[in-house]
A = this chain, B = another copy of it.
Amino acid sequence: MTTNHTSIDQRCINALRFLSIDAVQQARSGHPGLPMGAAPMAYVLWKRFLNVNPQDTNWLNRDRFILSAGHGSMLLYALQYLAGFEGMPLDAIKNFRQYQSVATGHPENTLVPGIEVTTGPLGQGISNAVGMAIAEAHLAARFNKPEFKVVDHHIYTIAGDGCMMEGVSSEACSLAGHLGLGKLITLYDENRITIDGATDLTFTEDIGKRFDAYGWHVQIVEDGNHDLEGIAAAIEQAKSVTDKPSLIRIRTTIAYGSPNKAGSSGSHGAPLGDEEIQKTRENLDWPYAPFEIPDDVLAQMREIGADGARAQQKWSELFTGYQEHYPAEAKELERLVRGELPQGWTAGLPTYTPADKGDATRNLSGQCLNGAAATVPELIGGSADLAGSNKTHLKESSYLQRGEMGGRIVPFGVREHGMGAICNGIALYGAGLIPYCATFLVFTDYMRGAIRNAALSDAGVIYVMTHDSIAVGEDGPTHQPVEHLAALRAIPNLNVIRPADGKETAGAYQVAIESRNRPTLIALSRQSVPHLEHTGADQVGRGAYVYSDSDGPAALILIGTGTELSLCVEAAAVLEKKGLAVRVVSMPSCSLFERQDEAYRESVLPRGVTKRLAVEAGCDMGWHRYVGSEGATVTINRFGTSAPGAQCLELFGFSVENVVLQATKLLG
C-alpha cells in the first residue's frame, strides 16, 4: 500500500502523520484524518518551497502559510515543531488540546509565533489568504523597484472540501480571480470525505471548472498520497503563472495509512484508537514510540528552518541595498512593519465646532476617513458595493486593480463575508496595513463569522457601518438594523462605537486607527445630526462621559448614543425648564466604557442616581446594565417599517417629546 518506506522524504511525511495520530489519541480528541492525508503535500510545500524563518516569524518577506482546514491543526503544529519553531515545543504537542498548551484545538495566531491566522471556522483561512495576497501585491506595487523586489513572496494555503463549500470562500476566490493574484497558491486536499460521509452526498460540482470560471489557474495531482514529484511540479507550475491565483487539486486519501479507517469519514474527527494506530504503525513501517522523532527525520526537517534563515539573510542583503538606494521608501516600509503610525497622523482628522452645519455621521465619517487616509498611507479598504452610501471612497486614491495594485480602494463587490475575511488577512499580513471595510449595519449579519474571527485573532480591522437604525427609512425592515448594535457589542474584544456628531466621529476614527490589535466597528447614520456643544473627540476612548450636568444633584440621567444623543440634550433642556436637574451622558461605546476602571465608571453613572433613561434607536438588550432596576429605555424591540426615516423615528418614539414624557414617567 505504501511506497518508499525508507526514503527520508517518506519518513518525514510519516513523522508528520504520527505526531498527529499520537497527539489526537493522547488528547482523545481531534482530527487525525486530514494530517495523515495531507502530510505529503505539506511536506513537499514546506521542504521545497516555503520560505519561513523560525528565528524571525515576523520577517516581512516570508512566505505565508495558512492551514485553512484548521481542524487539521496537528499537521501545522507538527510542521512547526519539526521545522524548528520554538513557539511550538514538543511538550505542547504532547499536551495537544489541553489547558494552556499552545497546541490548541484549532490554530490560534495570538498564541503561537508563525501561525499567521486563526482558522477552524471553514472557509475563513483561504479567504484570509486572498487578503494576504492583496497585501503582498499592494506593498510590492508601492515599494518594489526593478532591481529591489523587497516584497516578493507567495501565500500558500491548504484547504479541504469544507472550505470549498463555504460561501465566504466563493466570494473571496471570485475576487482573487478578478484581481489576478498570482502569488496565491491553494493546495486543495481533495479527499472527498467530510464529517457526514463522502462528498457524493452533497458536493458533486466540478470544482476545477468553478475556479477556472473565477479566473484561477487549475491543476490536478491524481495521486497526492505518493506523487511527491507531481506535487512539486504543480507548485512550480503554479508559481510560474503570475497573473492568476492557482488551485492545485490534490487527490488524497483521508487517514492514509490506516488499514481500516483510511478513506472513511470515521477518521475525520475522532482518534483512530490504540489498536488501529498500532496497525497503522506496522502498515507505514513506523516503529517509533509516540512522539519519538528519529534523528535523521528531525535533521531533515530542521533544514526547513535553516533554509529559511538563509533566505532571510539573502533578503536582508537585498534590503540593505534598497536602504542605500531608496532610503525614504525603506524607512517608510520599516515603519509599516513596526506597526507604528506616522508621527502626527491625527492632524489629518477634521475638527468640528457647534457652529458647523449639521450632517449625517456617515458623511462626517467620509470626511474623517479621507482625512486620516491623507496622513495614514497604510489605510486601505472599501465597501461591499455601497461606497456612495457608506461614504468610504478615498477621494485622493484609486481602485486597487489587476496591474494597479498600488491603489488603496479595494473593489470588494457585493461580498460582505468575503470582504470581512479578506480584511482579516490584510490586517494579519504583518506589515502595518490598516484595512477598513463597509456596508450597511444590517448586513454585518452577512459577515459576522469574519468579524468574530477578527476579534478572536486580534486583527485591527475597521468596520464602517452606515445606515445604523430604523432612520434608514424607506428601505424598510430588511435594511433597518434593530438588534445589531446589541449583537455586535456582545462579541468579546470588538470595539463598537456609535458617534453622536463630528467630534465623536473623529474620536471614533482615532480609536479605530490606534487599535491595531483589536477590531473597531463604527456605526453611522444616514440622517443628519447637529454638532453638539459639549461632545469631545478625546472622550470617545473612555466609552462614555458626562455631556452636561444641571446645577445641583441630578434627579435623572439621560444616556444617549449616536444620533439619539442630541434628543437627550434637547430633552434635558426641556426638563431643566421644568426645574429638574438632569445629567446627560454620551455613551458612544459600551465596550470601551466597560474597560474603564470602577472609579471612572462610577463618576459617570453614580450609583446614587437610580432614575436613568437610555435612548437608542435599537433594541433594549444590554441597556438594563446601565439603567438598572429603576431605569427605563427608549428603544425598539421589533422590526421597523418602510416609511421615510424621520417618520420612522417619530413612530417608534425617538422624539424629544417622547424622551421628555418617558423621563417624566420615570420620575413618577
Name the residue among A122, A453, A476, A490 with the largest chain B CB count within 10 angstroms. A490
CA of A651 to CA of B215 in the docked complex: distance in angstroms?
A: 49
Tell me the bound Cα distance from A642 to B98 in angstroms: 6
Task: Report which of B204, B477, B487, B641 forms a contact with A99, defined as CB distance below 8 A.
Answer: B641
Nearest residue, chain B, Cβ from A127? B167
Q: Within 8 Å CB of A195, what residues of B?
A: 385-389
Does A445 interact with chain B (Cβ within 8 Å)?
A: yes
The answer, among B215, B414, B628, for a CB contact under 8 Å with A165, is B414
Say yes or no: B445 contacts A449, CB within 8 Å.
yes
Bitwise, A398-414 to B at CB < 8 A (1) or not (0) is 01010000000001111
- The contact of A120 among B29, B476, B486, by CB within 8 Å, is B476
The answer to whether B479 and A105 have CB atoms under 8 Å apart is: yes
**CB proximity of A481 to chain B, nearest CB, Å:** 10
Which of A52-60, A168-176, A300-308, A356-364 has 4 or more CB atoms under 8 Å from chain B? A168-176
How many residues from A make CB contacts under 8 Å with B? 110
A625 at the interface (CB under 8 A from B): yes
Q: Are B202 and A411 in contact (CB under 8 A)?
A: yes
Provide the bound-state CA to CA distance between A453 and B178, in Å. Answer: 30
Interface of A (DSSP majority class)? loop
The answer to whether A418 touches B167, judged by C-beta atoms less than 8 angstroms apart, is: yes
Within 8 Å of chain B (Cβ to Cβ): is A452?
yes
Is the CB of A572 closer than 8 A to any CB of chain B? no
Interface mask (A164-197 → B, CB under 8 Å = 1, otherwise 0): 0111111100110110000000000000001110
Nearest 5 pairs of A and B residues by beta carbon:
A167-B167, A120-B478, A99-B643, A104-B642, A202-B413
Which A positions have Cβ atoms within 8 angstroms of B?
27, 29-30, 70, 97-101, 104-106, 108, 118-122, 161-162, 165-171, 174-175, 177-178, 194-196, 201-210, 212-215, 269, 383, 385-389, 399, 401, 411-418, 442-443, 445-446, 448-449, 452-453, 455-456, 473-479, 482-483, 486-487, 489-493, 610, 619-622, 624-625, 628-630, 637-639, 641-644, 647, 651
> Can you give 28 A-B contacts (C-beta < 8 A)?
A29-B473, A29-B644, A98-B644, A104-B476, A104-B641, A105-B479, A106-B476, A106-B479, A108-B476, A121-B479, A122-B414, A166-B167, A166-B415, A166-B446, A167-B169, A167-B415, A170-B170, A178-B205, A194-B385, A194-B413, A202-B412, A206-B213, A209-B212, A483-B490, A490-B621, A621-B622, A628-B628, A628-B629
